[in-house]
Amino acid sequence: TTHDAAEEAILAERDAEFVAEGKRWYDVRRMLGGKYALELVGGNELKLVWPIDAGVLSKDSKVKQNEGYVTE
């Protein structure tokens, strides 16, 4: 079996075992280099990065918000 085929088999098995446990997104995000995640967000890579919490931003002026998120 190939590396990609093995990852797809693992992803399918985890999908069956962990349905409704909120783990699917993290698997999809890291498996196959994020290929499936990019398909789910229509190719918009900015949607794969979470915003930095406002508390963190307010405590450290050197921290900048991730691109694609509104800052005030």
pLDDT score, position 62: 94
Q: Cα 27 to the chain's mean position, in Å?
A: 8
pLDDT score, position 72: 61
Structure tokens at 59: 């405590």
Closest by Cα among 22, 56, 51, 24 to 40 = 24
Containing 66, the helix (H) or strand (E) segment is none
pLDDT tens track for 13-62: 888 887 778 777 777 777 777 777 888 888 877 777 888 998 999 999 99
Q: List the chain domain ranges.
A: 3-40, 48-72
pTM for this predicted structure: 0.47
Q: How far apart are CA 16 and CA 11, in angstroms?
A: 9
pLDDT score, position 55: 92
